[in-house]
Chain A
Amino acid sequence: QVQLQQSGAELAKPGSSVKISCKASGYTFTSYYISWIKQTTGQGLEYIGYINTGSGGTNYNEKFKGKATLTVDKSSSTAFMQLSSLTPDDSAVYYCARFGAAPFAYWGQGTLVTVSS
């Protein structure tokens, strides 16, 4: 069955970076894009962007350009999102989701990122 397994919670200091992973299984990894979504209590669900897992091409929400960098390792069927220059506003749960004909039919379990000094 399709599974997206995300890395564990992160505690980071302001100004630093974190890199979250999303390991896919149960399907052909390069047949579907991987998207990333941010969830906060105040802003709800926000689309960050997607990565073409075959070509590595990316599409970013303008709001997250310069903040998020999406990459992929096809050999391990894993997508990554790096968040840089962290501030407390980046504290959130981040999800990866498979993007196909039925967008976001499969989600990872979420990764909590807490930014605090």
Chain B
Amino acid sequence: DIVLTQAPLSVSVTPGESASISCRSSKSLLSSKGITSLYWYLQKPGKSPQLLIYRMSNLASGVPDRFSGSGSETDFTLKISKVETEDVGVYYCAQFLEYPFTFGSGTKLEIK
């Protein structure tokens, strides 16, 4: 199975500052079609996860452009600029290149 390793485990951010979350894959997530199959989700407290970023760097519908995704074949970053209080929750990366699909262990974002 593809292992996704997230860092840090948690991050505490002052509103208005930026935050970065890392996700490292045990295998390249670049498909033969040239698509990088790495996704980012946010699970707000008491809610279901919601899609933020698809295919490494594409913003999902309705997601503020404060969120951005970048990376290479195995190393990925989610950046949140100008963090707002509504951004609290647990962020997960996920891969859909191979079965079984797998998720990172999550990064908890808190507000200072």
Contact = CB atoms under 8 A, between A and B. Distances in A.
Contacts of A102: 51, 54, 60
Interface residues of A, number: 18
Interface residues of B, number: 19
A32 interface: no
B68 to A, nearest CB: 17
> Could you tell me the dominant secondary structure of chain A's interface residues?
mixed
Contacts, number: 45
A57 interface: no
B103 A107 contact: no
Interface of B: 39, 41, 48-51, 54, 60, 92, 94, 96, 99-106
Given A44-B92, A45-B92, A45-B94, 8 more contacts: A44-B105, A61-B100, A102-B51, A102-B60, A105-B60, A107-B49, A107-B50, A108-B48
